[in-house]
Structure formats: structure tokens, C-alpha cells
Amino acid sequence: MLAALIGGIFGAFIGSYLGVIAHRVPRGQSIVRPPSHCSDCGTILRWNDNIPILGWLLLRGRCRWCGARIPLSVWLIEVVTAALTATVCWWVFTHPEAVVSPLALAAAYRVEWLWLAPLLASVALLVAVWVLLVCTLTDLQHMIIPDELSKPMQVLAPFLALMLSGSLVDEHASAYLLPLFASSASIDGTSLGMWTFFDGVLRVLLILVGALALLLISLPLARWIYGTRLRGPYPWRDQDHRAFAVGAWWFVIALIPAMLLLAIAGTMAEANDMSFNVWAWMVLLLTNSLLGCLAGWYLPYLVGLFGSWAFARNAMGYGDVKMLAWMGAFLGPVGVLYTFFIASVYGSLIGIPMRLFGGGREIPFGPYLVLGGVTAFLAGPTISATLLPQILGP
């Protein structure tokens, strides 16, 4: 309960800043200067007017100086962020076995430091939640997911995910990871030698390098499809092609630090007792994250590429591609598949009626990806326990 209380108070302050980011970033404004001010008269707010949640209530939703209305959304963002932060902190500290990774436990190996493990997991999870909240707001209001959010997260997400067990790295989902590290030896966790395990790391790195190279090679194909096949009001311009190519190159470069750490961890791992070997667990978690990033990019990318070719209209926003790429670090490749399927179901059940009765307005897919990702993260172990043994065998 104490974790939820502290998280709620801290989340309210974070929510105040998230509102600033969601308002200014799509408009190309600085998120630092000027300080919080009235959008009508420009007066800088007093410190007591800036108190999260309470400040808006005390002002009764109006500027102290000119009486202009302060949007209710400002207050709602603070309330929602406080509630989400409190919920995450409560859940992690009361159910650490569901989310805390062996690496977080290793960082708190002394009994008096065990509280550090759920704290690290909370921070990692909250960063993802806060960024997803801003992405949802900007996509709903402006139909964009800013690169200023997606690009840094593509670098940070694989490292943040190390503090989480990964909702899909369990005794069921590990069935698709362990075979990557087995050659002629057994994969029962006891007969894998260090060289065999490192050979598996090299195999994973080769898969990653090959997939990233294939992405770059596909850029001319993407330019041809989006440059010649699209019809309608939103044809791609030269700057659109250049921006997408820069985004693809950034994604490739963003994964290099985690791939280097994967190689280092592979040289240090001894797979004879993977339950307690920190380096071996780092290899598994990084492998899950990096393959998840690839799946998060490739799945919507291919849907957009071939959907645009088939229907001669833009089938996928590439803000969604960039966002799902870093979400994949937390979900793993299996979780990305769940996320995309669940998001499509949500989009059909919610989005189609909204479009039919909303005058044909374009509906952003990003919020459905966020809902699908949250559902997959929470329900992933249950889904995996049901599906994967039937697909991969007991």
C-alpha cells in the first residue's frame, strides 16, 4: 500500500510533465522553456497553481489572471498518470514473482537490498507506461507518434527489459528460445557446454544481422511501392521517403549496443546451471528483447508494405512501426504476435463502429496497439501456457 501511495504522488507530478510533452512535442515546441504558462495570456503559473491535480481544482479550471479555461484534459492526464503509476507500483511490489527478472534480483543479492529488485522493475515498467500514454495522446489528437519518443526508446527498451522477467519468458515460451542455443548437444539445461552456448549466441547475432541487413535492402522496394502505387490524398513525398529511410537506419543502429552486450554476455555465460547464472539469463532476456524488437518492426512493416501494394493506399502508419519495435523489447516476438492480433480485434470491435458513426474519420491504430500490448503483457503467460505446448509439443 505504501508503494502505491508513493507511486500515486510521484505519478501525479510526472503526469503534469507528460501533459506538457503531449502538448508541445507535436507542435515542435521545447518541453523545457518557457515554463508552464497560460496559453491565452502567457502569464507564467505560480508554483501553487502548478501543484498536480489540486492546482486545477483550486483554480476551478480557469487561469488566475485572465480567467481563460484550462482544459479538463490537463487535469485528467495528471489523474490517469497518478492512477497508472500507483497501480504499477502496487502490482510489482505485491506480485514480484510475476515481473521481477533474475538480473534485478542479482542487483539486490543481499537480503537488506531485496527491495531494490521490485524498484528496478517498477522503474522499467513505468518508463514504458508513461511513454505509451504520451504516444496514445498524440496519436489521438494529432494522428502522429513522435520520433522524439520512439527513437530514444528503441535504444533504451532492451536494457529496461532486462529488469523485467518478460511476460513471455517462462517455462512455456522458453521453448522457442533454447533451441537457438543448441547444436548437437542436449537442451535439457545440463549438457550445454560454454562453447555450445556461445555458438548459440553467434547464431542469434547472425539472425539479427541478417534481418537488419534485409530491412535496409528492402528500402528501394518500399520507395517503389509508396512512390508509385499509392493513390488518394496522402501520397508519399521525397521527404517522407527520406524520413522513413532515416528511421530504418536509426532502428538498425539503435540495436547495436544491446547486440554488443549480448555478445559479451555470451562469452561469460556457463549454461550448466541456467537457473542461477546471471550471464546466461542476460543472454536469454536480451535475445527475447532483440527478437521482439525485430518482430515489432517487421510485422507492421510487412503489413504496411504489402497492404499498400495490394490496395494502393497507405495501409500502416510508420509511427506505429517504430512504436511497436520498442514495445517488442518488453513483449518478445511471441508477445508481438499476440499484441498485433489483439489490437486488430480491438480495432474491429471499437474502431469500425466509431468510423461508421463518426463521419468516416481516420482512426489511429496506435492506441489499439497500446491496448493490445497491455493485454498481451498481462495475459501472455496464460496464453502461452495454453497455446505453445500444443504448437511446439510438451
**Grid cell in block for residue 285:** 532476456
pLDDT at 232 (0 to 100): 66
For the cut 90, the answer to whether the pLDDT of residue 82 exceeds it is: yes
Nearest to 95 by CA among 127, 117, 74: 117
Query: Does the structure show a pLDDT above 50 at 238?
Result: yes
Q: What is the pLDDT of residue 351?
A: 75
DSSP state of 172: T
- The helix/strand/coil state of 141 is helix
Closest listed residue to residue 252, CA positions, set 224, 220, 212, 204: 212
Distance CA 154, CA 252 (A): 10
pLDDT averaged over every residue in the chain = 83
26-40, 135-149, 181-195, 320-334: which range is least confident on average? Answer: 181-195
Q: What is the pTM of this model?
A: 0.89
In the 8-state DSSP scheme, what is residue 44? B
**Rounded to whole angstroms, what are the CA distances from 285 to 116, 158, 163, 265?**
19, 9, 9, 11
Mean pLDDT, to the nearest integer, of 235-247?
87
pLDDT of residue 234: 65
149, 154, 158, 164 alpha-carbon torsion, rounded to 10°: 30
> For 29, left (φ over 0), alpha (ψ -120 to 50), or beta?
beta
What would the grid cell of residue 372 be? 493490445
Which of 123-127, 276-280, 305-309 is most confident? 123-127
Residues 6+ apart with CB under 8 A from 181: 187, 192, 196, 197, 199, 200, 201, 203, 204, 271, 283
The C-alpha cell that represents 196 in the structure block: 555450445
Tens of pLDDT along 127-180?
A: 999 999 999 999 998 889 999 999 999 999 999 999 987 555 555 556 667 777
Q: Average pLDDT for residues 176-205, to the nearest whole number?
A: 64
User: Which range has the top average pLDDT, 44-58, 80-94, 167-181, 353-367?
Assistant: 80-94
Which segment, 29-43, 80-94, 230-244, 376-390, is predicted with the most confidence on average? 80-94
Q: Is the pLDDT of residue 51 over 90?
A: no
Question: What pLDDT was estimated at residue 159?
Answer: 95
User: What is the model's pLDDT at position 186?
Assistant: 42
Q: Report residue 339's pLDDT band, with 50, 70 and 90 as the boundaries.
A: very high
Label each residue of 285-324 as H, E or C. Answer: HHHHHHHHHHHHHHHHHHHHHHHHHHHCCCCCCHHHHHHH
**Does the pLDDT of residue 221 top 50, yes or no?**
yes
Quick one: cell of 176?
522457442
pLDDT for residue 193 is more than 60: no
Domain ranges in the chain are: 2-94, 131-392
